[in-house]
Structure 1
Amino acid sequence: MEEIQIITPEELKKKLEEGEKLELVDVREDEEVAQGMIQGAKHIRMGEIPVNLDYFDKDKEYIFICRSSARSGNVCYYLQEQGYKVRNMVGGMLAWPGETE
């Protein structure tokens, strides 16, 4: 299986602070997201990714986020196999040093 590209929470925070436009997708459950999401992230639960494939554009790169980066990693493998550009935020929200909304 091909390696998944990753990004650290610190790298992501820096990019966002520099105003970089990134496609963030949070794949946690509703009750987890209610406790706070990274600003600008889109919420698509892991189980709903397959029915939401039309949301994703193969020309864009998406950064996937979950609580600890296990679920987002699974989503990354799944989408990468289908030709999408993906990156997994390692450590997940447990490691996120920035603010949430």
Structure 2
Amino acid sequence: MKGVLSVFVLGNLSVMGWINLVLILILVWLFGGQFYTYFIGKRHATIVSNEDFKKGMHRAQVIDVREPNDFKKGHILGARNMPFSQFKLFKDSLRKDMPIYLYDDTKTVAPRMASKLHKNGYNDIYILKSGYDKWDGKTKSKRA
């Protein structure tokens, strides 16, 4: 009876009702994915402010996980580019005995990278909370 009732209720939705339902599902999917990624990153890394990132980065491996074109446009001074999409190529070039400081633009790629690094035996991982867009330290950018 319950299954018949739910089919009856869903079958009687108006066109606007269906559109609203689809929009709600899309929003849940988008924001749910970002929250999931953020919390996965928090489980495997420490999220740090600009100030804490600046304090620790001089004794660490600073990794920009954005794609090469974004890195070339501008990056944190002293950072190495290791795009998330090429993780398998770069993972063995990182030292396990030094902290790893990660950053990106979207605040979703760095947590995913932290998770992958953790699965490969890296433990001392930090993520820039605000991402590169809000970075107020020294940068290097391509000159036109």
| Same-fold call, TM cutoff 0.5 | yes
Q: 2:69 — aligned with what?
A: 31
Distance in 2 between residues matched to 1:33 and 1:53, nearest whole Å: 18
Q: Deviating runs (4+, > 3 A) in structure 1?
A: none
Q: 1:65 — aligned with what?
A: 103
Distance in 1 between residues matched to 2:77 and 2:85, nearest whole Å: 22
Tell me the percent identity: 22
Residue among 50, 58, 66 paired with 1:9: 50
Q: 1:50 — aligned with what?
A: 88
Q: Following TM superposition, by how much is the alpha carbon of 1:48 offset from its aligned partner in structure 2, in angstroms?
A: 0.9
Q: Which has the higher contact order (CA 8 A, sep 6+)?
A: 1
Is 1:82 matched up with 2:123? no
Q: Following TM superposition, by how much is the alpha carbon of 1:5 offset from its aligned partner in structure 2, in angstroms?
A: 1.4
- Give the aligned residue type for 2:133: L
How many residue pairs get aligned? The number is: 98
What root-mean-square deviation, in Å, do the aligned CA atoms of Structure 1 and Structure 2 show? 1.9
- Give the aligned residue type for 1:98: G
5+ unaligned residues in a row in structure 1: which ranges?
Answer: none
TM-score (norm 2): 0.61
TM-score (norm 1): 0.84
5+ unaligned residues in a row in structure 2: which ranges?
Answer: 1-39
Q: Deviations over 1:36-88 (max 9, x none)?
A: 11111011111111222210122111011111321011000111122102111
